[in-house]
Chains A and B, each alone.
Chain A
Amino acid sequence: MTKKTISVARELLASNRQAASAIRAELRARGILCVNLLSSPGSGKTTLLEALADRFRDRFRMAVIEGDIETERDAERIRAKGVPAWQITTGGACHLEARMIGKVLGDVPEAIDLLFIENVGNLVCPASYDLGEDLRLVLLSSPEGDDKPAKYPQAFLSADALVLTKADLLPYLPFDPARAAAEALSIKPGLKVFTVSALRGDGVDGLAGYLVEALERLRSGRA
């Protein structure tokens, strides 16, 4: 019997990263902007997507990949807006992985401008998994409290934009949007911050404009 020590240095997330890079390359080649939405359960991801579907209607074609532990409910809500949607039910897994997106990608119609991925509601695990997106939005709703960025730094560090949702509830809650934004910006300088009420529609245009600019940038870079 011989004992051996083997140097391995193998990254556990390497295969996810490779799958994500392939997705990013494919979507960019097709001129599709991919946006990953990450937040706690109940923070308003689906409602925000419904509001964006209303804004983009007749101007930009969007599609949505929904990630949930169980049920088709979110995909049904999106389809009710006339937007193609695919539901991935993870059956317990706390995040989406790139290969799950890869399996759906072939079904996404050619003529799409924006592909949204609504991650499983969870402010921790999805932050570690690149899905091949161009933009990552992290949502923080007013009932959750303005002290969350420092408690979940990875989600905010990995994001391109912060969307403070449920602004219609601000009069009733101690949530201070300026404090939440300042804390998030201290973790990730340069983070874009939007305050929206998807229910009333306040602030949705600003976010929609940001996404359209990113889409135009992506397409102009695609000579």
Chain B
Amino acid sequence: MHELSLIASVFDVLEEKAREHGATRVTAVVLKVGVMAGVVPDLLESAFDIYKKGTLAQTARLEIVVVPTKLRCPDCGGEAVREDGDFSCAGCGSRKVEIVEGRELVVERIELET
């Protein structure tokens, strides 16, 4: 439930990039959000809609790309997406897996008008 403070950080990035590129409007923001990032995409969208009023991103569309959990197995070298909450290697069953994707909270790209 810290979606609003995360969106505040998104707007720090937007303001910086808008200034850098002399933008008059931000028209779209693409966020990558891992399923293990501990945030709820719907709440990010609500927070974005609250926050954008009166900013350069007033009419911007928020696109959220949800990143599933991907595990890498140091035992067999396998890499696989697991969507069932099971933290074991799909190939050999080892539990010594590393999470390589699924924790992202990234401003991937933005669309501007200059």
Binding site for B on A (CB under 8 A): 1-13, 15, 93-95, 124-125, 127-128, 150, 153-154, 157, 186-189
Contact = CB atoms under 8 A, between A and B. Distances in A.
B6 A150 contact: no
A186 B109 CA distance: 36
A4 B111 contact: yes
A12 B109 contact: no
Contacts, number: 83
A3 B23 CA distance: 9
A128 B38 contact: yes
Interface string B35-67: 011110000000000000000000000000000
A8 B87 contact: no
Contact of A12 (B9, B23, B95, B114): B9
B99 A8 contact: no
A69 to B, nearest CB: 11
Most buried by B among A8, A94, A128, A153: A8
A8 B17 contact: yes
Q: Which range holds the interface residue count of chain B?
A: 20 to 34
B106 A9 contact: yes
Interface of B: 1-2, 5-6, 9-10, 13, 17, 21, 23-24, 27, 36-39, 85, 87-88, 95-96, 99, 104-114
Contacts of B85: 150, 153
A97 to B, nearest CB: 9
Nearest to B17: A6
Contacts of A7: 108-109
A27 B10 CA distance: 30
A9 B21 contact: no
Contacts of A153: 36, 85, 87
A124 B114 contact: no
B1 A94 contact: yes
A98 to B, nearest CB: 13
A3 B27 contact: yes
A197 to B, nearest CB: 30
Contacts of A12: 6, 9-10, 13, 105-107
A150 B88 CA distance: 13
Given A12-B6, A124-B1, A186 B106 contact: no
B114 A4 contact: yes
A13 B87 CA distance: 24
A94 B87 contact: no
Given A93-B2, A93-B5, A157-B99, A10 B106 contact: yes
